[in-house]
Amino acid sequence: MCTFAFMKKLYIETYGCQMNFADSEVVAAILKDMFEVTKEVEEADLVLINTCSIREKAEQRIHKRLQELESLKRRHHGMQVGLLGCMAERMKEELLQTEPVLDFIAGPDAYRSLPQLIADSRNQGPRFNVMLSEEETYEDIIPVRYDVNGVSAYVSIMRGCNNFCSYCVVPYTRGRERSRSPKTILGEVEQLLRDGFKEVTLLGQNVNSYHWEDDRVGEMTFAKLMAAVADLSPDLRVRFATSHPKDISDELIETIARYDNICKYIHLPVQSGSDAVLKRMNRSYTRDYYMGRVRKIKELMPDCAISTDIIAGFCGETLEDHQQTLEVMREVGYEYAYMFKYSERGGTLSAKRYADDVPDEEKTRRLEEIIALQGELSLVSNQRDLGKTFRVLVEGASKRSADYLYGRNSQNKVIIFPKGNHQIGEYIDVAVKDCTAATLFGD
């Protein structure tokens, strides 16, 4: 007589940055002997919500989602719900008291303890582990890439942040910087190549401060690591995120320029164009320094796309400060920007030192000006590409029509084109015929 063991189902819902998505793949790997991943929350035995605390709105979305899961849990006898990530780290015991749906919470450095947390919470009631580590990088864990296109993958190369920007919770929720060994990073990328992946994005909170040193490899800077990854295969595209302007070295810019398969796209968060605001933000650079880095990038790579992050209405921001941000935007001519109103985060330096004194309606007005200007800049940038031909890595079917595919060029711009006989994962040349501010269209 045969018996069949059916594995329980795991559903992971991820919010926030690319690092959170990479972490969810690590979590799936840690639990792979206990659960198989499902895309249907209704059939899950375990639901994990991987959270973001970067803005208040992100936390509000998660609170609302937990309320929805409470009714699902009542209908699904035996279902467990766990909260992971930065929000779990920041709010700790408070979440278990205010969100009765939760069985356990685990901070970003506590994922190895998940099997024990799951068992203990089932038998003994709610549990949490939010201990931060000075060493944990999960470098020995091969992520389970459960929700990818088989073409592009994230590879985490470091964790934590030492910058302590005054508005940011990351150093408190993810701890201090620590880098993975280059051997394990290169081994992970080599496995991705064997599995057919064509593109990797190297991830870290401040990826260009990556540093490793030992007797075998000597000193490994981020630029040297990028070169080592690019050398693995000329058919492998290499991207990275996210950069801090203070660490965009000449060595790194020269390395990106030298390699054809390192994408000509740099995300360079400016946050504000005002030196006074940058100082209160503790960003450790001036507007002139930032623009010097931009000029160096454009000097060596005239075709390099630059995107940014901008915060509207930070503490003490005047109309003149706001105008200086608009001036920087025009001067750089960003291809894309992530733009937000300032959201005070409890426990950060800005919450302790500065009054959140820009009225919300004024923050909204300034943000709308920033968004409108960026729309103009993105359209101008895309119009410059009309008539050009780009090498595109095909990533999937267009959302609007199955007769069209989409991919990105080296500059990280999305291009949509007729499907024809082309396949996902293929490199093709696409001539740009039309555009919007967000998208290129070609043949």
Tens-digit pLDDT profile for residues 99-155: 999 999 999 999 999 999 999 999 999 999 999 999 999 999 999 999 888 999 999
Calpha distance 372→388 (Å, rounded): 26
CB 50 within 8 A of CB 85: yes
**With the CA atoms of 130, 309, 274 and 380 taken in that order, what torsion angle do they form, in degrees rounded to the nearest 10?**
180
Q: Which domains does the chain have, with CATH numbers?
A: 8-129 (3.40.50.12160), 148-263 (3.30.750.210), 299-384 (3.30.750.200), 389-442 (2.40.50)
**DSSP-derived secondary structure letter, 32:** T
* Residue 369 pLDDT greater than 80, yes or no: yes
Using CB atoms within 10 Å of the CB of residue 112, give its burial: 0 to 12 exposed, 13 to 18 middle, 19+ buried.
Answer: middle
Q: Is the pLDDT of residue 382 over 50?
A: yes
pLDDT of residue 426: 96
Peptide bond into 242 cis (omega under 30): yes
Q: How far are the Cα atoms of 217, 278, 318 from residue 321, in angstroms, in the given order?
A: 46, 10, 5
Smallest Cα–Cα separation from 427: which of 232, 192, 198, 262? 198
Q: Is 341 strand, coil or helix?
A: strand
Give the mean pLDDT of 220-230: 97
Contact yes or no for 167/314 (Cβ under 8 A): yes
- The tokens of 2 are what? 């045969």
Strand partners, 321: none
> Per-residue pLDDT for 424 more than 80?
yes
Residue of 233, 234, 236, 238 whose CA lies nearest to 223: 238
Confidence band of 441 (pLDDT split at 50, 70, 90): very high
* pLDDT of amino acid 5: 53
What pLDDT shows up at residue 1? 42
Instruction: Write the pLDDT tens digit of every residue in 240-286.
Output: 998 999 999 999 999 999 999 999 999 999 999 999 999 999 999 99
The per-residue pLDDT of the chain, averaged, comes to 95
Query: Reading across the β-sheet that carries 152-156, which strands appear in turn?
Result: 152-156, 199-203, 237-241
Share of the chain above pLDDT 70, in %: 99
- For the cut 50, the answer to whether the pLDDT of residue 4 exceeds it is no
Angle at 234 between CA 230 and CA 237, to 5 degrees: 60
pLDDT at 3: 41
Q: Kindly state the average pLDDT of the residues 358-368.
A: 98
pLDDT at 7: 87
pLDDT digits (tens, 9 = 90+) for 159-194: 999 999 999 999 999 999 999 999 999 999 999 999
Report the C-alpha dihedral over residues 39, 40, 41, 42, rounded to 10 degrees.
-170
- State the Cα–Cα distance between residues 169 and 166, nearest whole angstrom: 8
pLDDT in the model for residue 54: 82
Token digits for 48? 């994990």
The answer to whether 424 and 149 have CB atoms below 8 angstroms apart is yes
Q: Where are the beta strands (DSSP E) in 242-388?
A: 265-267, 305-312, 336-341
How would residue 93 be classed by pLDDT, with cut points 50, 70 and 90?
A: confident
Average pLDDT over residues 70-94: 90
pLDDT at residue 2, as a whole number: 45
CB 212 within 8 A of CB 181: yes
